[in-house]
Structure formats: structure tokens, C-alpha cells
């Protein structure tokens, strides 16, 4: 199931990058929901987030991942509710050694600026973040993983995401949205 999801997502993004649109399927609507908001990440925000995560970008914007490969991290604004406010999703994968670095997926870290400094409020791997429709303290609950299993859930406590001591099954994802990974 993960392979099918990965292939579908790759094809979707490849066609989108070429400027071609495809009609979304029901599965696409479930897994590629509008998590990224309009309005991008500024160069200053990117630099500050990389510094907060102890990454140093080279002239091409690449950073060294856990397997010591140079890769380009993805940063996007993520809508996880009004409680957390403006959140940036930092996603880093791997090259040929991704499976030994991050398992079956990427590392996703949600960052939030508080009192002028960027800090981590959630981290998940592999598979990234699944934004659920349920909320706590005006922040959407987040499950860790990808299609095919039952996933641990984190909830917003007003400052950060904490373990909710529950899981959600793949069959119950319904209108959940995946933060791109």
C-alpha cells in the first residue's frame, strides 16, 4: 500500500511540476489535501529554521542528512489549526540510502516561531504528518505515518504536540490531510 501511495504521489507531483494537471482520484483527495497554504517561506525564515535545526546549507541550498548525503529539504507552510498559528513543515529525505536514514519515508519536523525564535513543536518519521480533523486547544491532532496501518496520534497542548495515548486506523482517516513528504 505504501508503494502505491508513493508512486501515486510521485506521479502527481511530477505532472504538477510539468504544469500539467490531472483529475484527482478519491485517494488523491484523501492524501494530498490542501495542507500547504498560499504564501511561501521567506529566505530569512528558511535560514533561521535551518539554523534552529542545526543544519548548514551549501550554495545550492542542500544540507547533510542523517546518512551524510547532501539533499534539498522542503519547507512549506502547514495549516494545523489556529492554536499553533503559522507553522512551517520541514521535510528531509534521503538519496540512495534513505531507507537506512529515515525508514520508509522522510523526516518531517513542524516548526513554529515564538518570541522571535523558531522551535520544534512536532517530529515524525517515517511517512510524515497526517493532519486529522479532530482538535485540541484549536490545534489539529496529528498522526505519524502513512497508509496501511494504525498510527500514533499527537495533540496540541497549547505549546507543543504531545502523545495523545491513542492511535487512528488507516480506515478512519476520512478527511485527513498529509503534509507533503
- What is the chain's length? 181
DSSP 165: E
Q: What are residue 89's DSSP bridge partners? A: 76, 110
pLDDT, tens digit (0-9, with 9 covering 90-100), for 10-62: 333 333 333 333 333 333 333 333 333 334 899 999 999 999 999 999 999 99
Q: What is the pTM of this model?
A: 0.74
Domain ranges of the chain: 1-32, 33-178
Contacts 24+ apart (CB under 8 A), 104-109: 104/2, 104/146, 105/2, 105/145, 105/146, 105/181, 106/181, 107/66, 108/179, 108/181, 109/53
Rounded Cα distance, 108 and 90, in Å: 6
Q: How confident is the model at residue 97 (pLDDT cuts 50, 70, 90)?
A: low
Amino acid at each position: 500500500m505504501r508503494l502505491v501511495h508513493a508512486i501515486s504521489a510521485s506521479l502527481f507531483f511530477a505532472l504538477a511540476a510539468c504544469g500539467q494537471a490531472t483529475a484527482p482520484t478519491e485517494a488523491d483527495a484523501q492524501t494530498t489535501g490542501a495542507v500547504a497554504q498560499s504564501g511561501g517561506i521567506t529566505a530569512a525564515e528558511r535560514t533561521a529554521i535551518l539554523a534552529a535545526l542545526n543544519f548548514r546549507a551549501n550554495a545550492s541550498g542542500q544540507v547533510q542528512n542523517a546518512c551524510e548525503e547532501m539533499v534539498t529539504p522542503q519547507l512549506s507552510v502547514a495549516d494545523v489549526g489556529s492554536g499553533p498559528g503559522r507553522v512551517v513543515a520541514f521535510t528531509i529525505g534521503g538519496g540512495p540510502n534513505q531507507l537506512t536514514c529515515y525508514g520508509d519515508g522522510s523526516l518531517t519536523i513542524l516548526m513554529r516561531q515564538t518570541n522571535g525564535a523558531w522551535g520544534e513543536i512536532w517530529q515524525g518519521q517515517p511517512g510524515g504528518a497526517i493532519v486529522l480533523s479532530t482538535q485540541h486547544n484549536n490545534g489539529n491532532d496529528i498522526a505519524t505515518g502513512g497508509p496501511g496501518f494504525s498510527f500514533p496520534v499527537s495533540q496540541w497542548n497549547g505549546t507543543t504536540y504531545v502523545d495523545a495515548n491513542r492511535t487512528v486506523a488507516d480506515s478512519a482517516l476520512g478527511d485527513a490531510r498529509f503534509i507533503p513528504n
